[in-house]
Amino acid sequence: MKHRFAILMLFAVLAFGGQSKGQQAEQPKPQPQQDQPSTQPQEQSPQDQKPKPLKLRVSSGVLEANLVRKVQPSYPLEALRQHIQGDVVLQVLIGKKGNVEKCRPVSGDAILVEAAKEAVELWQYKPTTLNGEPVQVESTVTVRFHM
């Protein structure tokens, strides 16, 4: 018990720097810097600022309307043998040219997920534009596996 108290006291001293309630450590006040150029960014006019690359989030219905090429997934043999069926939901990132750049499973049977990913990664969409500029699009895709 004495050791625990000693450890707690040591921790308190280390945590509070050995200062009592009335004491405060004196910290040097920052001196204004002279003779050095300002490191703060200068304001730019709206014409000088380049917009950040955009990534739009769209519904799966909007994304489906822009689908140009859809590759059907092959039904995994193991899933057929075990009579596994259902939907696989994937989160996709469509690039500025309409190709699938990223594909991440959200839900679905593990046996079906890989077949769904392989097919969706080959899908092609019409490029999405915003104010005349191509943008990336993020959405979800549902791949149905039913016997």
Over residues 9-43, the pLDDT tens digits come to: 555 555 555 544 555 555 555 555 555 555 555 56
Q: What is the CATH code for 55-145? A: 3.30.2420.10
Question: What's the pLDDT at 109?
Answer: 96
Domains of the chain, residue spans: 55-145
Nearest-angstrom CA–CA distance, 108 and 122: 19
Nearest-angstrom CA–CA distance, 24 and 18: 10
**In this structure, are residues 86 and 112 in contact, taking their beta carbons and an 8 Å threshold?**
yes
Nearest-angstrom CA–CA distance, 105 and 86: 14
Question: What's the pLDDT at 60?
Answer: 87
SS3 (DSSP) at 111: helix
Task: Please list the ranges in the chain whose pLDDT falls under 70.
Answer: 1-53
Q: Which two tokens stand for residue 86?
A: 């259902």
CA dihedral of 81, 106, 143, 108, whole degrees rounded to 10 = 20
Question: What's the pLDDT at 143?
Answer: 97
